[in-house]
C-alpha cells in the first residue's frame, strides 16, 4: 500500500487552465464591473443568496426572506429570474435600469426604498409588512411584539387579536376605508376567538400574546394609555396557568416582562397582592441578553419589586390602621427583605455610562437643565423600573418608621436621613429622564413613566423641604408633574394636584378611594 504522502500512480493531474476567449473575457470584465450575483444580478454583499441561515432576519428583511429557499429570487421584487443576459435580468422589472446600464456601486438605496413602495407578492408577505409597520408606528419595538410577525398564521386567536389591534391603530391614524364599525367588528371576532380558545382549554403562549395584544386596543383607538382591566386580569390568569405547567416559553416570558408595571399598579390600587406572586421567580429573573451589564441586574430587581410591592403596601396599610402585632411584624419582615433588594455597585456603574446633555425642550428645561440620553430603550426601562420601585420601598419603610420607630431600628430599616438622600437622587434621575420619555410612543412606557412621576410626587409630599429637580421652584415642579402625568395617561387634564396627593398616598398604604384608582379600574372608551 502506498504511503499517504506519496501520490497515487493513477491519480489525475490537475488540468491546465483554459485561456478565455474574447467574448468570455468581455463577459467576465462586465460581470466584475457590475459586481453582481450570477443568480439574480444583485451585488453580492446585498444579495439574498449571501445571507446565512444562521442569521436572524431583521424586521426590514423579514418580508423578503419569506419562502427564500436559495433559488434565483431578486432581492428587490422577489421575482424568479431566468437565465439570460445580465443587463436584461437586472432590468427585468425595474424601470430605473435602462438598456445597457449596470447596477450602481451600492444598491442599498433600492433595497431601502423597496420597503415603502414594494407591492407584496402574497397575502402572507402583505400581512407581515403591515404588522411590522403598525408595530413601528406605535413604538412597540423592543418587546414581545417583535416576535409576532414570525408567528402570523400559526394561531387563529393571535391572528384575530393582532388584526383587531391593527385596525384600532389604522383608525387612530385616520387611514382611508377604516371605520369605527370595522374596528368593533374585528374586536368582536377577536373576542370570540379568545372565548373559544379558553373554553376548549387550548391556552398557550399564543393565547397570552393574543390577550396582551387586544388589551390596549381601546386605548389605541381612543388615544389614551390605559389598559382594559378585564383583559389585564385575564392575561394574569393565563400567565399563572402557563407558569404552573412548567417552564415558560420565550414568548410567554416576554409577555410577562411587558406586563410587570401594569400588574403592579392594578394590584396596588385594588389593595391586594400581585397575582404574579405564584409564578416562580426564575421566570422573571432570567433573560435580558440584549442588555449590557449592569442593566440586567437592575431590571431583575425592578421586576421582583413589582411583584412583591403590592403585598408590602397591603401589609403597611393593615399595620398602620389596625395596629395588630401580627400585621406589624409581617410588614417589618417584608420591609427587611425588600430593602435588601438593591445593587449599589451596579447602580453606580449604570449611572457612570448614561450620557448627559443639555435639555432642549423649554417646558422640561424649566425643571431640569440637564437630561439623560439613554443608549437604548431597554436601558431606559431598566433605570426607571429600578428607581421607581426602590423609591416606593423606601417611602413605605419611612411610613413604618413614623408609626413604629423602635421596631424599625431593630429590623434595620434605613433611617430618615439615609432614605432621604437615596430617594432624592432617584427622583432627580426620573426627572432627568423626562425628555427621553417624551419621545416614546408606546403606551406601556408612558404608563411606566407616569408611575415614576407619581413616586416623585410622593417624595415631595413626604418631605416638602426637599427639591428633587435640578432647577425650578416647588410650585413649578408640582405643576410640571401633574401636567406630564395627565399627558401620559389620558392626554388631557383630569388629575388635579389633590388627585396626585391621593395617588401618592395610595402607594404607601393610604385610602383606596380616589380618581387615580378609578382611572385604572374603569375601562375608558
pLDDT surpasses 80 at 110: no
Query: Crossing angle of helices 260-270/229-245, nearest 10°?
Result: 120
Q: Would you say 281 and 268 are in contact if contact means Cβ atoms under 8 Å apart?
A: no
Q: For 445-470, b where at least 16 C-beta lie within 10 A, e where not — what string?
A: bbbbbbbbbbbbbbbbebbeeebbbe
pLDDT of residue 32: 58
Cis bond upstream, residue 294 (ω within 30): yes
3-state secondary structure of 67: coil
Q: Would you say 489 and 447 are in contact if contact means Cβ atoms under 8 Å apart?
A: yes
336-371 pLDDT tens trace: 999 999 999 999 999 998 999 999 999 898 898 899
Radius of gyration for the alpha carbons in the chain, expressed in angstroms and rounded: 29
Of the ranges 53-57, 76-80, 253-257, the best mean pLDDT one = 253-257
Q: Which three cell numbers stand for residue 510?
A: 393610604
Higher pLDDT, 505 or 115: 505
pLDDT of residue 125: 80
Cis bond upstream, residue 29 (ω within 30): no
Q: What mean pLDDT, rounded, does the chain reach?
A: 79
Per the listing, cell 381612543 goes with 222
Q: Which three cell numbers stand for residue 49?
A: 443568496
241-279 pLDDT tens trace: 999 998 899 999 999 999 999 999 999 999 999 999 999
Question: What pLDDT band is residue 21 in, cutting at 50, 70 and 90?
Answer: confident
pLDDT surpasses 50 at 437: yes
Residue ranges of the alpha helices (H) in 246-324?
Answer: 250-258, 260-270, 282-285, 295-322
Question: What pLDDT band is residue 491 in, cutting at 50, 70 and 90?
Answer: confident
Q: Would you say 436 and 371 are in contact if contact means Cβ atoms under 8 Å apart?
A: yes
Backbone torsion region of residue 68, taken as left when φ is above 0, otherwise alpha when ψ lies between -120 and 50, otherwise beta: beta
What are the CA-CA distances from residue 499 to residues 267, 316, 480, 486, 516 (Å)?
Answer: 19, 21, 14, 11, 7
Q: By CB neighbour count within 10 A (0-12 exposed, 13-18 middle, 19+ buried), where does 380 fall? A: buried
- Report the percentage of the chain scoring pLDDT > 70: 75
Question: What pLDDT band is residue 441 in, cutting at 50, 70 and 90?
Answer: confident
3-state secondary structure of 356: strand
- The pair phi, psi for residue 308, each rounded to 5°, is -95, -15
pLDDT of residue 451: 95
pLDDT of residue 15: 55
Q: Which three cell numbers stand for residue 43?
A: 451585488
277-332 pLDDT tens trace: 999 888 877 666 666 788 889 999 999 999 999 999 999 999 998 878 899 999 99
Residues 6+ apart with CB under 8 A from 124: 66, 152, 153
Q: What is the mean pLDDT of residues 9-15?
A: 51
Q: What is the mean pLDDT of residues 461-471?
A: 70
**CB atoms closer than 10 angstroms to residue 91:** 19
Higher pLDDT, 110 or 299: 299
Question: What pLDDT band is residue 465 in, cutting at 50, 70 and 90?
Answer: confident
Question: What pLDDT band is residue 335 in, cutting at 50, 70 and 90?
Answer: very high
Question: What pLDDT band is residue 474 in, cutting at 50, 70 and 90?
Answer: confident
Q: Would you say 383 and 374 are in contact if contact means Cβ atoms under 8 Å apart?
A: yes
23-47 pLDDT tens trace: 777 676 666 554 455 545 555 444 4
Alpha-carbon gap, residue 228 to 164, rounded angstroms? 14
363-411 pLDDT tens trace: 898 898 899 999 888 899 999 999 999 999 999 999 999 999 999 989 9
Task: Fill in the DSSP letter of residue 43.
Answer: B
Q: What is the mean pLDDT of residues 2-13?
A: 48
Q: Would you say 458 and 391 are in contact if contact means Cβ atoms under 8 Å apart?
A: yes
pLDDT surpasses 90 at 430: yes
Amino acid at each position: 500500500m502506498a504511503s499517504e504522502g506519496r501520490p497515487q500512480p493513477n491519480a489525475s493531474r490537475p488540468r491546465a487552465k483554459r485561456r478565455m476567449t474574447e467574448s468570455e473575457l468581455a463577459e467576465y470584465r462586465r460581470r466584475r464591473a457590475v459586481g453582481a450575483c450570477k443568480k439574480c444580478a444583485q451585488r453580492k454583499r446585498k444579495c439574498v443568496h449571501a445571507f446565512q441561515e444562521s442569521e436572524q432576519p431583521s424586521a426590514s428583511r423579514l418580508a423578503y426572506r419569506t419562502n427564500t429557499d436559495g433559488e434565483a429570487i431578486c432581492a428587490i421584487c422577489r421575482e424568479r429570474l431566468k437565465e439570460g443576459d445580465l443587463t436584461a435580468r437586472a432590468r427585468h422589472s425595474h424601470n430605473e435600469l435602462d438598456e445597457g446600464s449596470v447596477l450602481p456601486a451600492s444598491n442599498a438605496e433600492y433595497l431601502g426604498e423597496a420597503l415603502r413602495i414594494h407591492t407584496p407578492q402574497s397575502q402572507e408577505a402583505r400581512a407581515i409588512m403591515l404588522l411590522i409597520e403598525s408595530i413601528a408606528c406605535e413604538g412597540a419595538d423592543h418587546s414581545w411584539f417583535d416576535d409576532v410577525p414570525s408567528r402570523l398564521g400559526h394561531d387563529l386567536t393571535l391572528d384575530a387579536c393582532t388584526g383587531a389591534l391593527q385596525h384600532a391603530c389604522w383608525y387612530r391614524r385616520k387611514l382611508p376605508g377604516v371605520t369605527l364599525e370595522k374596528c368593533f367588528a374585528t374586536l368582536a371576532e377577536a373576542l370570540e376567538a379568545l372565548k373559544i380558545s379558553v373554553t376548549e382549554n387550548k391556552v398557550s403562549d399564543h393565547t397570552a400574546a393574543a390577550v396582551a395584544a387586544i388589551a390596549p386596543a381601546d386605548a389605541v383607538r381612543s388615544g389614551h394609555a390605559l389598559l382594559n382591566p378585564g383583559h389585564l386580569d385575564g392575561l394574569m390568569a393565563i400567565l399563572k396557568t402557563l407558569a404552573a405547567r412548567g417552564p415558560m416559553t420565550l414568548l410567554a416570558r416576554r409577555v410577562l416582562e411587558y406586563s410587570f408595571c401594569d400588574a403592579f399598579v392594578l394590584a396596588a390600587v385594588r389593595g391586594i397582592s400581585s397575582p404574579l406572586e405564584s409564578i416562580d421567580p426564575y421566570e422573571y429573573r432570567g433573560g435580558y441578553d440584549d442588555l449590557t451589564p449592569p442593566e440586567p441586574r437592575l431590571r431583575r430587581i425592578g421586576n421582583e419589586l413589582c411583584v412583591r410591592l403590592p403585598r408590602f403596601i397591603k401589609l403597611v396599610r393593615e399595620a398602620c390602621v389596625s395596629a395588630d402585632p401580627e400585621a406589624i411584624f409581617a410588614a417589618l419582615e417584608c420591609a427587611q427583605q425588600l430593602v435588601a433588594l438593591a445593587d449599589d455597585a451596579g447602580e453606580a456603574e449604570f449611572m457612570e455610562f448614561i450620557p448627559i446633555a443639555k435639555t432642549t425642550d423649554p417646558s422640561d428645561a424649566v425643571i431640569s437643565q440637564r437630561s439623560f440620553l439613554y443608549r437604548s430603550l431597554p436601558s431606559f426601562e431598566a433605570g426607571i423600573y429600578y428607581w421607581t420601585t426602590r423609591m416606593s420601598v423606601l417611602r413605605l419603610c419611612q411610613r413604618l418608621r413614623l408609626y413604629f420607630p423602635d421596631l424599625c431600628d431593630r429590623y434595620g430599616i434605613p433611617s430618615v436621613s439615609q432614605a432621604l438622600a437615596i430617594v432624592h437622587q432617584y427622583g432627580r434621575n426620573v426627572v432627568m429622564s423626562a425628555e427621553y420619555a417624551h419621545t416614546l410612543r408606546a403606551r406601556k412606557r408612558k404608563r411606566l413613566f407616569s408611575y415614576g412621576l407619581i413616586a416623585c410626587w410622593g417624595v415631595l409630599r413626604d418631605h416638602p423641604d426637599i427639591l428633587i429637580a435640578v432647577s425650578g421652584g416647588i410650585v413649578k415642579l408640582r405643576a410640571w408633574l401633574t401636567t406630564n402625568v395627565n399627558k401620559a395617561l389620558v392626554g388631557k387634564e383630569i388629575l388635579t394636584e389633590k388627585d396626585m396627593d391621593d395617588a401618592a398616598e395610595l402607594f404607601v398604604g393610604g385610602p383606596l378611594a380616589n380618581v387615580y384608582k378609578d382611572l385604572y379600574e374603569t375601562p375608558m372608551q
